[in-house]
Amino acid sequence: MTETQQSANGTESQPQFSLEQWLRKYFKVVLDGIGSFLLKLGVSPNAITILGVMGNLAAAIFLGLGHIMAGGLVILVIWPIDALDGTMARLKGEPTRFGAFFDSVTDRYSELLIFGGLLYYFLMQQNVLASLLVYLAAAGSVLVSYTRARAEAVGETAKVGLLSRVERYLVLVPCLIFNVPIAALWILAILTNFTALQRIYHVARNTHSLK
């Protein structure tokens, strides 16, 4: 991350704190060690990406069957894998545009699988409110990523807001492990959509569209 980030209209904005970048920085030695070991075994970064999706699919099945704590524990185990594919690509010296694209797309699939498992569970329980919260949380999570992608497509940056993907998992995983998924869904339903609105406002302000 650069000291300042410049938008398409030439204005500079101060960098935003990123918990994900902070975690990657302080766990770099561990990630590099594991990544190097897996590369020596012949494992590819894309294979690790797919493994992450499969792990989240398993978690979604547990959640859908009502094994909330088990689902949360599986997500907790799989979560670090999300950082490994990028680390391995960097160590291999072959980071590609497709790899970055594939990683981003599979991240969205992984989140939606988890929300899908929760939605199925609450629909089977005929819990209309919880089902609605799952929908709002899933929509907000996708919009957080989408607003950033669209901002970058027009030459802006939108790494702002309360709940990036790391923060969403920090809310979701403990609540699942302690079997209080409704608490996580309330937080995610509200704050993910608020984060998307923060990013819209950020881009509007940077492009001088707020007049």
In the prediction, which pLDDT does 65 show? 98
pLDDT top residue among 68 and 103: 68
Lowest mean pLDDT among 81-90, 123-132, 166-175, 182-191: 81-90
pLDDT of residue 194: 96
pTM: 0.84
pLDDT given for residue 118 in this prediction? 98
Question: Does residue 6 carry a pLDDT above 50?
Answer: no
At residue 211, the pLDDT reads 58
Predicted confidence (pLDDT) per residue in 27-82, tens digit:
777 888 888 888 889 888 888 899 999 999 999 999 999 999 999 999 999 988 87
pLDDT of residue 13: 45
- The lowest-confidence range among 8-22, 83-97, 116-130, 189-203 is 8-22
| pLDDT number for residue 1 | 37
**pLDDT at res. 94:** 64
The catalytic residue among 32, 82, 103, 107 is: 107
Q: Using a pLDDT cut of 70, give the percent of the chain over it.
A: 84
pLDDT of residue 61: 98
Q: Is the pLDDT of residue 2 over 80?
A: no
Q: Does 32 qualify as catalytic in the annotation?
A: no
Give the C-alpha separation, 89 to 91, whole Å.
6
pLDDT for residue 4: 40
